Amino acid sequence: MNISIFGLGYVGCVSLGCLAQNGHHITGVDVNKFKVGLINKGQPTILEKDIDQIIHKAHKEGKINATTCVDEAINNTEISIICVGTPSSPQGHLDLSYIYRTAEGIGQALREKDSFHIVVIRSTVLPGTNHKVGEIIAENSQKIRGKDFTVISNPEFLREGSAVKDYYHPAVTVIGGDHKEALEKVASIYEQLDAPVEITDIKIAELIKYVNNSFHALKITFANEVGNICKALNIDSHKVMSLFCMDKHLNISSTYFKPGYAYGGSCLPKDLKGLVTLGHDNYLTTPVLSSISPSNENQKKRAYTIVENSGKKNVCMIGLSFKEGTDDLRYSPSVDLSETLIGKGYHLTIFDKNVQLSKLIGANEAYINDKLPHLSELLSNDLGQAINDADVIIVNHKNFDPTPYISLLEKKTKVIDLVRVDQLKELPNYEGLCW
């Protein structure tokens, strides 16, 4: 396949070499004549393991060349991959001017081209950039997106120092677009890689790298704060984190990575507070650990705000314990939400088949008596009646089966889903907490 790559910096140079090594014919494009000259001499524009040998071999085989001429690159290729830089401003905003200037140049070059052209954004960009790039190309080419060209988002996940290895061994290749044939063609570029290709929505493809890298930053900072506490206690931090990473069921897994309501229960709040206090007692600052609980409280506030915005005061809450399948009410975020609603003058009815006042004992009983002393007046054993009498329904347990109650639910002012019950999403009055 004939492919042009715009931007011969880190991502562009690695992509150029690796794609050529996979058998494609690549034209590099850059405004910097020095970089273009290096490629045309078979030399890389960056210092990176193995890329010098790859570029040299590809040049020797006639699979790569470079130019400063956009028209030449567009006319001789069927796919153009944008790899130009997107530097960050001091305020955290991205400078997308290089992306937009590249889009203008591609658009102008496409004016004289009759065949369909695929533009791929490989640079790290904000959601909405793909759409804007499409508008710029359409304006400058006087052609129609979807008919004459399309724009695909294909974020890169390359680390400096291991970029070639990362290119050939990705966890997943992400491709977002709105043109079926173009998506299939871009996906075929990566068919030699031993990794799944995930075709998804454009904005998801644009956002995923920010999520990935923010989590990587969080992991490093989390480990460092744990390390600081360990050092103060004369504990081997690397042995602690090595043991931590052995748990592939909860710690290093997809468990808990599902946006939803706040955490609760007798363990997470208590143990987090204990670790933060341990750091404080040893004169340590732990900003990440210390911010977890406030962020969790913010999620509870978001839930209340959605209820408040409904404008109605009759509320039915389905699920009171901190998660389904238990009657444990200790530090349940639903108990906190119930307490807030009652304090604000709402008429609240609660249904939870596992919560029976006569069976609550010990700390569990003491906790709920302190938080909701009149719980007996709030509990209902008839879910259908509770739904029927309310204007707003809050669902906080994943095991809720709405099937028998759909006709009732669709008449409500609002059905608020805190845990993502998929069957509810088709309701016209549905609102998810953070989706």
Q: For residues 176 and 201, give the distance between their C-alpha atoms in angstroms, rounded to a whole number.
A: 5
Contact present, 211 and 181 (Cβ < 8 Å)? no
Which pair of tokens denotes residue 70?
């956009």
Of the candidates 233, 220, 241, 221, which has an alpha carbon nearest to the alpha carbon of residue 283?
233
Q: Are 99 and 133 in contact (CB under 8 A)?
A: yes
Distance CA 412, CA 418 (A): 17
Sheet containing 414-417: give its strands across: 347-351, 314-318, 392-395, 414-417, 430-432
Look up 230 and say whether it is catalytic. Answer: no
> Which of 202, 210, 208 is closest to 92 using CA atoms?
210
Instruction: Let me know: does 173 contact 193? Beta carbons within 8 Å.
Output: yes
Burial profile 319-336: b = 16 or more Cβ within 10 angstroms, e = fewer: bbbbbbeebbbbbbbbbb
Nearest C-alpha neighbor of 100 from the set 127, 71, 121:
121
Show the tokens assigned to 116. Answer: 């369909």
| First-to-final CA distance of the chain | 39
Q: Which of 18, 69, 83, 267 is catalytic?
A: 267
The CB density around residue 294, as the number of other CB atoms within 10 Å, is: 8
The catalytic residues are 267
